[in-house]
Amino acid sequence: MTGRSQARQAGAGDLLELVRTGRATTRGALQQATGLSRATVGQRLDRLFRAGWLREGAGGPVDSPLGGRPSITLEFDDAHAVVLAADLDTRHARAAVLSLTGETLAEHSGTLVVEDGPDAVLGELGGWFAELLEKSGHGADEVCGIGLAVPGPVDSATGRVVQPPIMPGWDGYDIRGRLARAFTAHTGTPAPPVLVDNDANLMAYGEQRTGRPDCSAFVLVKVSTGIGAGVVVDGSIYRGIDGGAGDIGHIRVGAEALCRCGSYGCLAAVASGGAVARRLTEAGVPAASGADVRDLLASGHPEAAALAREAGRRVGDVLATVVTLLNPGVLMIAGDLAGTAFLTGLRELLYQRALPRSTAHLDVVRSRLGERAALIGAGALVVEHLYAPERVEERLRVLGV
């Protein structure tokens, strides 16, 4: 961000972005990065200080060979607000209060069944949020945003799920509005902005942001009740034109099994945690869900391991095409089936079917954040949305600074 044209455009939001990302953390570095004068940088920083979004840190090193006083560093003040985040699975949910840098301040998990419908589920979630805020010692007026992960395709422009195969009754529902009303009903405070995205997208975003920030093409595949993928390209979630990107569970693989979406032969119908649970039950090993399969795998159950490996091979066959198309640096596997048996089968078919050129620099790994990945991703999504340069300018005007 150098030169006269960029200097005219660099506002307080641009300076905050430079500090928050660590690209420029002193006044001098901000001048150099933006081309703004010292006085203009000072004026724009003053607005950020008055908003409580920046603070001064320790003095940095002295760059001049002549010595002198060290430069005072600037830091994003993550204590001025908190974020609420939640991750809905089909029968279970997790919610948390997060700092603006992703630290967990309070967390809760429990049973929430998406088939009970959005009105009941989101109303209950509002109660969870109120309890978590009390537990964390933060007030509802400190919440700057709410992020929600759901197990279905989401139109990010509206925050509504679009024909979700495993979320009956949620299609087109106003999730943002209902969750905002639930927050207000339980806290007595006007709701902050609510952002909604697909769970695999937010898992991918959380994992890439915290563990692989330099990976420019990152793919995460979640294999639980269903199968979905999240794709992060150049630091941004790739959603497609209406949120349908990554829905690999409904790629047809030639099988005859009936999928919950109503079609036959979908990958999820034969290789998801739910599909493995069904086959185990048919074989006399009771398993109602992917979570039950996960527990059987953890106990070393041989039939569960064999079926998980077979499921991995089916998913690996599909991912060979995904990897050839996207050429990612990281392929991360998450969810109930993401264990040794499944990964063994996946690698067998992936490396057999994909072009060697596509896998030469590919890391196939397991989730690092585990069940908290979507929460971290939801929190990061809220922060990136609210502190984007153009939105910073709007929010500063509303604050009157």
Place of tokens 């430069």: 71
pLDDT-derived band at 225, boundaries 50, 70, 90: confident
| 390/396 Cα distance (integer angstroms) | 10
Check residue 165 and give its pLDDT.
84
Check residue 59 and give its pLDDT.
61
Phi, psi of 197 (to 5 degrees): -150, 165
pLDDT-derived band at 5, boundaries 50, 70, 90: very low
Rounded to an integer, the average pLDDT of 289-318 is 96
pTM of full prediction above 0.85:
yes
- Residue 207 scores a pLDDT above 70: yes
Rounded to an integer, the average pLDDT of 374-391 is 96
- Residue 70 scores a pLDDT above 80: no
Which DSSP string do the residues of 159-213 spell out, in sequence order?
A: TEE-S-TT-TT-TT--HHHHHHHHHHHHHSS----EEEEEHHHHHHHHHHHHH-T
**Tokens (6 digits) for 107:** 């967390």
